[in-house]
Chain A
Amino acid sequence: MVNLTINGSPVQAAEGSTVLLAARQAGIQIPTLCYLENVQAIGACRLCMVEIEGARTLIPACVAPVTEGMKVSTRTQRVRDARKTVMELLMSDHAGDCKTCDRNDDCEFQALARDLGIRQVSWPGAVNPSHIDTSTPALVRDTGKCVLCRRCVTLCNAVQDVGALFPQHRGFKTVVGPAFGGDLDTVTCVQCGQCSAVCPVGAISEHDETGKAWAALDNPVKFVVVQTAPAIRAALGEEFGFAPGTLVTGKMTAALRRLGFDGVFDTNFTADLTILEEGTELLRRLKAAILGPDHDVQGDHHDAHAHAAPGPLPLATSCCPAWIKNCEHFHPDFLPNLSTCKSPQQMFGAAAKTYYSRRIAKHPSDVFVVSIMPCTAKKFEAARPEMEASWQRDVDVVLTTRELARMIRQAGIDFANLPDEQMDQPMGMSTGAADIFANTGGVMEAALRTAYEIVTGRALPFDGLRVTPIEGMEGIKEAALTFSDVVPEWSFLEGVTARVAVAHGLANANQLVDRIRSGKAAYHFVEVMSCPGGCIGGGGQPRMTTDAVRKSRIEAIYREDQGKGLRKSHENPQVRAAYEAFFQTPNSDLSHRFLHTGYFGRDRV
Chain B
Amino acid sequence: MAVNPATCTCGDVPEAQLLERLDEILAEYREKPGALIPVLQIAQGIFGYLPEIVLKRISVGLGKPYSEVAGVVSFYSFFTTNPRGRHLIRVCLGTACYVRGGKQVLDTLKAKLGCDVGETTADRNFTLEVARCFGACGLAPAIMIDDDVHQRVKPARMQAILDLYAAPAAKSGGD
Residues from chain A with a CB closer than 8 A to the CB of B103 are: none
When distances are taken between beta carbons in the complex, the residues of chain B under 8 Å from A437 are: none
A179–B69 CB distance below 8 A: yes
Cβ–Cβ contact B81 & A180, under 8 A: yes
A168 interface residue (CB < 8 Å to B):
yes
The residues of B that contact A43 with a CB separation of less than 8 Å are none
B74 an interface residue at 8 Å Cβ cutoff?
yes
Bound form: Cα–Cα A223–B69 in Å: 49
Label chain A's interface by main secondary structure.
loop
**Are B74 and A605 in contact, with the CB atoms below 8 A?**
no
**B67 pairs with A165, CB closer than 8 A:** yes
A163-B65, A164-B65 in contact; A605/B71 too (CB < 8 A)? no
Also in contact, A179 and B70, with CB within 8 A (given A164-B65, A605-B59, A605-B60) = yes
Q: Shortest distance in angstroms between B166's beta carbon and chain A's nearest beta carbon?
A: 34
B116 to A: closest C-beta gap in Å: 18
- For residues 79 through 101 of chain B, which have their beta carbon under 8 Å from a beta carbon of chain A? 81
Report if A604-B65 is in contact (Cβ < 8 Å); known contacts: A166-B70, A168-B70, A179-B70.
no
**Does B66 count as interface, using CB distance less than 8 angstroms?**
yes
Is A180 in contact with B70, judged by CB distance below 8 angstroms?
Answer: yes
Interface size class of A (residues with CB under 8 A): 10 to 19
Given contacts A180-B74, A180-B81, contact A166 B59 (CB under 8 A): no
A475 within 8 Å of B (CB atoms): no
Is B152 on the interface with A (CB-CB < 8 A)?
no
User: Given A165-B67, A179-B69, do A170 and B74 touch, yes or no (CB 8 Å)?
Assistant: yes
Which of A163, A170, A188, A604 touches B68 (beta carbons < 8 Å)?
A163
Q: State whether A168 touches B60 (Cβ < 8 A).
A: no
Chain B interface mostly helix, strand, loop or mixed?
helix
C-alpha spacing A144/B71, complex, angstroms: 18
Which residues in A have their C-beta under 8 angstroms from that of B64? 163
A336 interface residue (CB < 8 Å to B):
no
A170–B75 touching, CB < 8 Å: yes
Which of chain B's residues have a CB closer than 8 A to the CB of A157? 65, 68
Asked whether B56 is an interface residue with its Cβ less than 8 Å from the other chain, the reply is yes
Determine whether the beta carbon of B67 is less than 8 Å from that of A164: yes
Asked if A89 lies at the interface with its beta carbon under 8 angstroms from chain B, I say no
Q: Does A344 contact B (CB under 8 A)?
A: no
Question: Chain B residues near A177 (CB, 8 Å)?
Answer: 67
Chain B residues with CB under 8 A of A244: none
The CA of A160 and the CA of B53, in the complex, are separated in Å by 25
Among B59, B68, B69, B71, the one with the most A-chain Cβ atoms within 10 Å of its Cβ is B71
Within 8 A of A (CB), among B36-55: 55
**Bound-state Cα–Cα, A117 to B57, Å:** 50
Please give the distance in Å from B47's CB to the nearest CB on chain A. 17
- Given A164-B67, A168-B67, A179-B55, 8 further pairs, Cβ under 8 A: A163-B67, A166-B65, A166-B68, A170-B76, A179-B67, A187-B67, A188-B65, A605-B56
Interface residues of A (CB under 8 A from B): 157, 162-170, 177-180, 187-188, 604-605
Which positions in B face A, CB cutoff 8 Å? Answer: 55-56, 59-60, 64-71, 74-76, 81
CB<8 Å pairs between A and B, sample of 28: A157-B65, A157-B68, A162-B65, A163-B64, A163-B65, A163-B68, A166-B67, A166-B68, A166-B70, A167-B71, A167-B75, A168-B67, A168-B71, A168-B74, A168-B75, A170-B74, A170-B75, A170-B76, A178-B67, A179-B66, A179-B69, A179-B70, A179-B71, A188-B65, A188-B66, A604-B60, A605-B60, A605-B66
